[in-house]
Amino acid sequence: MNGQWKNTFVSLSNIRKNLLAVSSTSDISSNDFVNQYLLQMTVLWTLQKHRYFNDDENYFITMFHLIEKKDQNIPFNTYNEFINSLLIELSALNDNHLSIDQRFGRLRGCKSAIFINISHLHKKANFSNANYYNSLKSHLSDNEISKSLGILTVLDRIDFEINGTFLGSLYEWLISSRTKRKGGVYYTPVELTAYISRYSVRTLLMGQFGVKSRYSPDAWVTYFESLDSTGLLRLYETLINLTILDPAVGTGQFLESVIDELLSIYSNLVKKFKALNLSLPLNLITNRSCNTGNLIDLTKIIDQTEFEFYLLTHLIFPKSLYGVDIDPFVIPFTKTRLFISFAHRIKLHEKDFHFINPFQCNLKIGDALLMAWEDFFPKTLTKKNNFSLILTNPPYIGESDNKELFRKYSVAYPTYYEGKLNIWYLFFHLALNLVQSGGIVSFLVSNYWLTASGASKLRKRMLQETFILEFIDFKENRLFEGAQGIHSSIITLKKLKKQNSSINCVFYTKKEPMNNQLLNKMSNQLVFQINQKNLTLNNWDDYFHFLPSDVSLILEKVINRSSPLRASTYTVKEGLITGLNKITKRQVEKYGYHSTWINRGIYVFDIKNINDQKTIQTFTTEENKYLHPLYKSSSIVDYSTRVKTDQRFLYLVRRDVDISTIPNIKKHLDQYQTATYNSLDHPPYINRPRKKEIFLSPKLVTPQRARKTHFGYSCTEWFAAQDVYFVLEEKNNIQKLKILLILLQSKVSFFWFSWMGKKKGSQMEFFGESVSNFPIPKKLNKGDLLARIADYLIFLNSLENKQSEYEQLRRFLEEGIANIIVYKSYFNDLILTSPSQNQLYEDVCVFLVKSLEKIDIEHFLKIRYAISVTENVTTTNKTEFIKLKESILSKINASFHKLVSDKRIEKLNREISTSQIVEQIGNYYDSKNHLI
């Protein structure tokens, strides 16, 4: 954000706090009114700079001084009375009409710039003179000025032009983060709306003329220059009949960018007409009462502002642009914002343009998903016609915390509704319903829809009913200030039941500064084309996968030689949903608990917390059996898990225990009855407890999200919450789990999850669905050997505080041996294809089996767990553990010396690294194994 703008926004935000402090109430309506008032004052200030009021660029400060001096010619006792009276006067004075009033002087009409609710002025706008201006403080810092409560003082320090974009950004700033998050509203940067508008409008126009080449600036020039007089007239007819909608219009940034684009095309069109000595007629309504008028020739208009005036007032605003928003305040403000931009663009204050019709905008207040569109825009929406183009940044609202809101949408959209959807998916379905056949839809949205389970119907409809034109994924480039966790993308498509064989895709693999050059740097990113029919990649899942051709070929080979994990003997389970962990500040406020209770454990205890210690000490030996060590996702390391934890979880399951039989635990929980009975389904028992065997059986564990594949093995008790997922084998086959561990930690796995898995920005997601889609080779190569390598890697990664000491050994086992076998398992007939290479591979594997001595990793892990977690650990236990650890280390070191001295392993690595598939996989990663 512009630094000067931000300073102004901060100052006005502070002033808002001060105005609220002197208001009679501090409810939401008062907060909204103060926001409106500050915005309205800013609008008046910018109109003042264009001499709308008494031909004075400093009109408001001039009037302030006159009122302060109690000038006899000024009939106002306070500045507040003057502002309120002026707003009432301006709300009745038509745009660009002149009025001379003894109270205010010479006024130029700007009715369309007054959006504040006039009826609220006398009730809520009752501010002192000091709230408006204090000239003595104009030399102070922005922060000091803010505290002086001077609205005009802050505005007087602005040394840049206040335009529509500034006003839209100020509106966004004045809405708190809480309000925006609740409404799913994040307003759109002008760089993005400009690009989307240009791409969509020009693609639509080129498509209307049957141009098959993809839009680009060069393609547009070629197309435009090729038009003869017939083509130019046809283009003009197409332009004047365009209808463009933003169904979540907000402050109108999209519409303003569309205006810029349309005016640019019209201007170039007129130049072509002039060059060919052709006329360009436009029908002007000059008599509103009988709807009659006359034709003017646009090519004869010399003055550019006059040319734009006619286009905007007779074509673009009344016929081309449409917008809807559910916010009842934003629509009047957006109309004002567009009027200000319009007035500045054509220098309205310098002209005597006569408005036959008032300034018109097709902006409506309504719930776009529920309103009767034909009633709101009856002339535009008919049985034959729909909108030409729909573009928007829709609201992002998830279903989980908005059940009541989504219930009415499920009734309105029974065909397309599904669980776990985001509200913007319904906006997409709405857009397809409202756009005409061959029309364009362009959405700026989170990229999460590609793999979201609640977007399956969205993807299916997109695949079947649209011709996808372009997909841009900005990855880690954050486009919306203050919007944490939103990773943006642009999807543009045509309503056409035909699949595009060459969708243009841009992946921003490099992080760029957010400025007006971001979209000019596409060529520096990963740019490729994909056939629409390949988006689901052999129907392996129902996700969309935008893949470069070389990546697609590799993954197809994996799929053809694999079956999904979900079809095997493995299952994936989510961790515990604990319900109530500890007493929080919110619960103290909600239930009236004492503030000293904050951080006291309810179901999760910290053994270092004194209060939790005292609670646990009241439990009997029998009751302590319900306490289990609880781990976080941070306790997972590659191949292994940590076992030390200060957390204990009270695992109370209704089917396993009667609360009355454990009186001390019951007494503890009874203290928090108001919280447990409001939060749990069957208090005092935990929600969705999961089968205990999940946490006690041998298993693989993975965090819900991580930047790379991150799976660990555990054969001991290991409870964790829902930020951890558990992979189990139906018969508790330890060897199968270890083989899967090697597969999941391999480079092939990292490549798979990078392109085929769920992602949130650069974070891979290892939810049950995503892990269940992981491919298991049908012909697994050297499984016994992989399991033995897994034992070594589990052990080495279990050695805390000695990670660096054994890094070389770990890398050798993982990259020099395990990855080779994994590559061979997935691409058996495509790598090491010569007889000599295959013989070398077999020889090395035989040598590895002989050289890698067996180690009892289960015994080691169980003793480690016992001395780390269990109470009453004896010296004998500790001694046994140390001896076992040293014995295993001795075996591993001996094996390592044998392996590194054998040149065949080095040769095999060279051979496999030159394989085309292995090279291609490596080309997509940097030295830190991050996707390039």
Question: pLDDT of 375-407, one tens digit each?
Answer: 999 888 876 679 999 999 999 898 877 888 899
Q: Is 636 exposed, middle or buried (0-12, 13-18, 19+ CB in 10 A)?
A: buried
Do 30 and 168 share a domain, yes or no?
Answer: no
Please, where are the H alpha helices in 568-640?
585-591, 610-617
Tell me the pLDDT tens digit for each residue of 67-113.
Answer: 999 998 899 999 999 999 999 999 999 887 889 989 999 999 899 99
Q: What are phi and psi of 362, to 5 degrees?
A: -85, 65
Closest by CA to 789, choosing from 747, 819, 818, 815, is: 818
Amino acid at position 878, single letter: K
- Separation of alpha carbons 25 and 37, rounded Å: 15
Residue 17, pLDDT above cutoff 50 = yes
The more confident residue out of 368 and 304 is 368
pLDDT higher than 50, residue 178:
no
Domain end point (choices 393, 419, 443): 393
Cα dihedral 779, 785, 790, 793 sign = negative
Percent of the chain whose predicted confidence (pLDDT) is above 90 = 66
Burial status of residue 27 (CB atoms within 10 A of its CB: 0-12, 13-18, 19 or more): exposed
Is residue 432 classed as helix, strand or coil in its secondary structure? helix
Quickly tell me which residue has 């553990």 as its tokens. Answer: 881
Judged on CB neighbours under 10 Å (0-12, 13-18, 19+), 366 is middle
Q: How confident is the model at residue 904 (pLDDT cuts 50, 70, 90)?
A: very high
39 & 63 share domain: yes
How far is it, in rounded angstroms, from Cα 308 to Cα 396? 36
Residue 714 lies in a domain: no
Cβ atoms of 511 and 477 within 8 Å: the answer is yes
Distance CA 668, CA 663 (A): 9
Same domain, 76 and 175: no
Q: Supply 639's token pair.
A: 């191949």
- Using 50, 70 and 90 to split pLDDT, how confident is the model at 230? very high
Q: What is the model's pLDDT at position 26? A: 52
- Structural domain includes residue 812: no
109 & 197 share domain: no
Please give the backbone phi and psi of residue 322, each rounded to the nearest 5 degrees, phi first.
-140, 145
CA distances from 413 to 69, 248, 396, 682, 720 (A): 63, 18, 17, 33, 38
Instruction: Point out the domain boundary residue: 162, 185, 219.
Output: 162
pLDDT at 187: 59
Which helix (H) or strand (E) segment holds residue 533: the answer is none
462 class by beta-carbon count within 10 Å (0-12 exposed, 13-18 middle, 19+ buried): buried
- CA 115, 119, 120, 126 dihedral sign is positive
**300 in any annotated domain:** yes
For residue 852, which of 761, 789, 783 has the smallest C-alpha distance? 789
Are 695 and 755 a contacting pair, CB within 8 Å?
no
**Per the domain annotation, does 723 fall within a domain?**
no
- DSSP secondary structure letter of residue 177: H
53 and 87: one domain? Answer: yes
SS3 209: coil
- Residue 473, beta-bridge partner list: 489, 507
The mean pLDDT of 200-217, rounded to a whole number, is: 89
User: What is the C-alpha to C-alpha distance for residues 923 and 78, in angstroms, rounded to an integer?
Assistant: 72
Q: What is the distance between the alpha carbons of residues 354 and 109, in angstroms, rounded to a whole number?
A: 12
Task: State the Cα angle at 605 between 683 and 704, rounded to 5°.
Answer: 85
Q: Do 104 and 228 sit in the same domain of this protein?
A: no
Tokens representing 383 are: 């049985």
pLDDT for 19 = 85
* Nearest C-alpha neighbor of 760 from the set 710, 690, 705: 705
Cβ–Cβ under 8 Å, residues 151 and 145: no
Contacts of 158 (CB under 8 A, 6+ apart): 4, 8, 45
Are residues 92 and 182 located together in one domain of the fold? no
**In contact, 487 and 479? CB cutoff 8 Å:** no
Q: Characterize 866-887 residue by residue with b for buried, 16 or more Cβ atoms within 10 angstroms of its Cβ, and e for exposed.
A: bebbeeeeeeeeeeebeebbee
Residue listed under structure tokens 């964790």: 720
| Token digits of residue 623 | 């009751």
**Domain membership of residue 208 as a residue range:** 164-393
Residue 203 lies in a domain: yes
Backbone angles phi, psi at 712, to 5 degrees: -130, 155
Last residue of a domain, one of 341, 372, 393: 393
pLDDT computed for residue 302 by the predictor:
86
Claim to verify: residue 12 and residue 122 sit in the same structural domain: yes
Burial zone of 402 (CB within 10 Å; 0-12 exposed, 13-18 middle, 19+ buried): middle
Residue 386: φ, ψ to 5°: -125, -170
Cα 255 from Cα 253, distance rounded (Å) = 5
**Residue 714, token pair as written in the block:** 């555990």
131 and 258 share one domain: no
**Length of the chain in residues, anyone?**
932
Q: What is the mean pLDDT of residues 167-175?
A: 85
Number of domains in the chain: 2
Q: Provide the pLDDT for residue 584.
A: 93
Rounded mean pLDDT, 310-335: 93
Assess whether 99 and 230 both reside in one domain. no
Question: To 5 degrees, how large is the angle CA 123–CA 124–CA 126?
Answer: 95
285: confidence class by pLDDT, cuts 50, 70, 90:
low
pLDDT score of 147 more than 60? no
| Cβ 53 vs Cβ 107: under 8 Å | yes
Per-residue pLDDT, 761: 79
Task: Write out pLDDT tens, residues 860-874.
Answer: 999 999 999 887 788
Q: Please tell me the least confidently modeled range out of 414-423, 471-480, 535-544.
A: 471-480
User: pLDDT band for position 287 (50/70/90)?
Assistant: very low
How confident is residue 288, by pLDDT bands cut at 50, 70 and 90? very low
Q: At residue 286, does pLDDT exceed 80?
A: no
* Mean pLDDT, rounded, of the chain: 89
Residue 404 burial (CB count, 10 A):
6
**Torsion sign, CA atoms 637, 641, 643, 648:** positive
**Using CA atoms, how far apart are residues 591 and 587, in angstroms rounded to an integer?**
6
Note whether 175 and 113 are same-domain residues: no
- Greatest extent of the chain over all pairs of C-alpha atoms, in Å: 108
Give this prediction's pTM: 0.88
Residues 6+ apart with CB under 8 A from 752: 555, 558, 774, 775
For residue 792, count other CB atoms closer than 10 A to its CB.
25
Lowest mean pLDDT among 126-135, 431-440, 569-578: 126-135
> Measured between alpha carbons, how far is residue 751 from residues 17, 127, 338, 925 in Å?
51, 63, 48, 9
Q: Is residue 186 part of a domain?
A: yes
266 and 387 in a common domain: yes
**Does the pLDDT of residue 484 top 70, yes or no?**
no
Three-class DSSP category at 726: strand
Q: Is residue 382 part of a domain?
A: yes
Q: Is 87 left (phi over 0), alpha (psi -120 to 50) or beta?
A: alpha
Confidence of residue 588 (pLDDT cuts 50, 70, 90): very high
Instruction: State the pLDDT confidence band at 927, using cuts at 50, 70 and 90.
Output: very low
Highest mean pLDDT among 486-490, 705-709, 713-717: 713-717
Within a domain: residue 695? no
Does residue 233 register a pLDDT over 60?
yes
CA distance 321 to 361: 7
Q: How far is CA 508 from CA 153, 488, 752, in A?
A: 43, 10, 19
